[in-house]
């Protein structure tokens, strides 16, 4: 799945070779203060953002089973959220650092935070989803496999889809 605002965006190919070794990659972009975020020092591959609290703890249990599959198939760093806004922050930092892909592991809210983080960084990079929450509405809306293991395998297949993003603003100034 690819985050795109205002229309379809060209997908970027992962910046690793077939065996997951880092290939040529752009130097990390800097934040407004001229210094790369701390995460930029670590992220050279995809970033998996895991929300262990999603689905009433269901994601923590699913991640214990999925981690070996992810590690065997997708060259990636892992980071867990600890509270609201962490998914957005982690995704934004990964986008600024030039990560080739950010994957949300959790519920629809986790995916929402990750997409918002990539968008806030001005990124037009692929965003993946392995949904383990209760509702999994994004599975129906975006064609993500409901089975988390199948979703991981779909990420490895690397088929991008572009989606338009929207933002609503209420009369009181709230945005979403």
Q: What is the pLDDT at residue 44?
A: 55
Q: What is the DSSP letter of 22?
A: B
**Other C-beta atoms within 10 Å of 11: how many?**
18
Digit-by-digit pLDDT tens for the chain (176 residues) are: 444 333 333 333 333 333 333 433 333 333 444 444 444 444 458 999 999 999 899 999 999 999 999 988 888 899 999 999 999 999 999 999 989 999 999 999 999 999 999 999 987 788 999 999 787 778 878 888 889 999 998 888 777 777 777 778 889 988 76
Catalytic residues: 108
Is residue 173 situated within a structural domain?
A: no
User: Which tokens is 117 given?
Assistant: 């983080």
Q: What is the pLDDT at residue 64?
A: 92
Radius of gyration of the chain (CA): 15
Which runs of consecutive H residues, i.e. helices, occur in the chain?
58-73, 86-97, 108-120, 137-142, 148-157
Is residue 1 situated within a structural domain?
A: no
Is residue 4 situated within a structural domain?
A: no
Length of the chain: 176
Q: What is the pLDDT at residue 143?
A: 82
Q: Which domain holds residue 94?
A: 37-160
Q: Please tell me the pTM assigned to this model.
A: 0.70
Strands 2-5 and 102-106: unpaired
Is residue 14 situated within a structural domain?
A: no
> Residue 128's domain is classified under what CATH number?
3.40.50.10330
Q: What is the pLDDT at residue 27?
A: 33
Is residue 174 situated within a structural domain?
A: no
Cα–Cα distances in Å, from 173 out to 86, 115, 167, 170, 176? 23, 21, 12, 5, 10
Q: What is the pLDDT at residue 157?
A: 79
**Other C-beta atoms within 10 Å of 36: how many?**
18
> Considering its fold, how many domains does the chain have in total?
1
The span from the CA of 4 to the CA of 134, in Å, is 26
**Sheet containing 127-131: order of strands:** 76-80, 46-50, 102-106, 127-131
Is residue 90 situated within a structural domain?
A: yes
The span from the CA of 75 to the CA of 18, in Å, is 10
Is residue 32 situated within a structural domain?
A: no
Cα–Cα distances in Å, from 155 out to 7, 25, 32, 86, 106? 22, 20, 31, 22, 15
Is residue 66 situated within a structural domain?
A: yes
């Amino acid at each position: 799945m690819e985050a795109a605002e205002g229309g379809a965006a060209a997908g970027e190919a992962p910046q690793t070779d077939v065996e997951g070794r880092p290939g040529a990659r752009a130097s990390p972009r800097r934040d407004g203060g001229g210094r790369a975020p701390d995460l930029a020092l670590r992220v050279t591959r995809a970033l998996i953002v895991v929300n262990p609290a999603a689905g009433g703890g269901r994601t923590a249990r699913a991640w214990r089973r999925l981690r070996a599959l992810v590690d065997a198939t997708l060259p990636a760093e892992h980071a867990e959220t600890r509270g609201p806004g962490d998914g957005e922050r982690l995704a934004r930092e990964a986008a600024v650092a030039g990560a080739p892909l950010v994957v949300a592991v959790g519920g629809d809210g986790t995916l929402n935070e990750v997409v918002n983080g990539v968008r806030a960084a001005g990124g037009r990079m692929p965003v993946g989803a392995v949904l383990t929450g209760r509702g999994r509405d994004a599975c129906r809306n975006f064609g993500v496999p409901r089975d988390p293991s199948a979703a991981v395998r779909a990420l490895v297949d690397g088929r991008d889809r572009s989606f338009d993003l929207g933002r609503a603003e209420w009369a009181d100034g709230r945005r979403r």
